[in-house]
Amino acid sequence: MSDATSAIIFEHPLNEKMRSWLRIESSLQQLEKQRHLDSQASSLAFFRTIAELIEILERGEVRSELLKELDRQQAKLKQWLCAPNADTAMIQNLAGQLKGRSIALNQAPRLSQYIKEDRIISMVRQRLSIPGGCCSFDLPTLHLWLHLPQSVRDESVKNWLDSLRPLQQALESILGLIRHSAAFTPKNSHNGFYQGNADEADLLRLKLDVVLGELVYPQVSGYKTRFAIRFLPMDSEHGAVPAHLSFELACC
């Protein structure tokens, strides 16, 4: 592959639980990258992300859905043990990992309880909806906290993220298994359009070679078993979509 070409994977959820899981995963990944709070700007980015995560976790039965999926994946692993030439050691290791993460998630307190009740997070969260509402005169406590030694802030962030670890580890295992449940297969769109059946899949994964000068992206619509993909030019005024576009697709 040349320097001007890169493969990008686009993902599209086919049900509400997967939509929620991908959003949670994205927030957790952002928090890990934002965890070094050494300025007001970096701290507010972290607090915005953690506030969004709290909102997602408050909306649905995230824990129960994850526990159901962990049980389902363990049942699938047991079936694989009976397959010819199965890697018994690897399957048993995965099953043990899933069981351990299921126990940890089940025993954890309410998923957002610790971060939601934290004084600093709570104060900042209340002001985030106000434009410019986190100035030092609005939040003098935060202003003071940002001037404490870096080690103090690092310890706070560690405790916040540690409280989310059972969620993060369970989600990591589930999404990893789902993503590896189907291989990419070559497909072709005609005049920028492709449609197909997902056969009760949870997630569509689309791999596209993006070439500079021919920038297109997929717009996916679909739910449960049916989906459609329309490729659109990034430059909506002057860009064009090839009549026949090759890509790879996995229905996971």
H or E element, residue 81: none
* pLDDT tens per residue, range 41-84: 999 999 999 999 999 999 878 999 999 999 999 998 888 887 78
From residue 65, how far is each of 17, 174, 200 by CA, in Å? 7, 11, 17
Q: Which domains does the chain have, with CATH numbers?
A: 4-13+182-251 (2.60.440.10), 35-180 (1.10.3900.10)
Burial of 98 (0-12, 13-18, 19+ CB in 10 A): buried
Side-chain half-sphere exposure of 160, counting CA atoms within 13 A:
28
Q: Does pTM top 0.85 for this prediction?
A: yes
Tokens 């899981």 -> residue? 21
> Which among 107, 117, 108, 148 has a CA at the least distance from the CA of 54?
117
* pLDDT tens per residue, range 82-137: 778 778 888 889 999 999 999 999 999 888 999 999 999 999 999 999 998 899 99
* pLDDT tens per residue, range 127-168: 999 998 899 999 999 999 999 999 999 999 999 999 999 999
List strands edge to edge, sheet with 5-13: 5-13, 203-211, 244-251, 185-190, 193-197, 226-233, 216-223
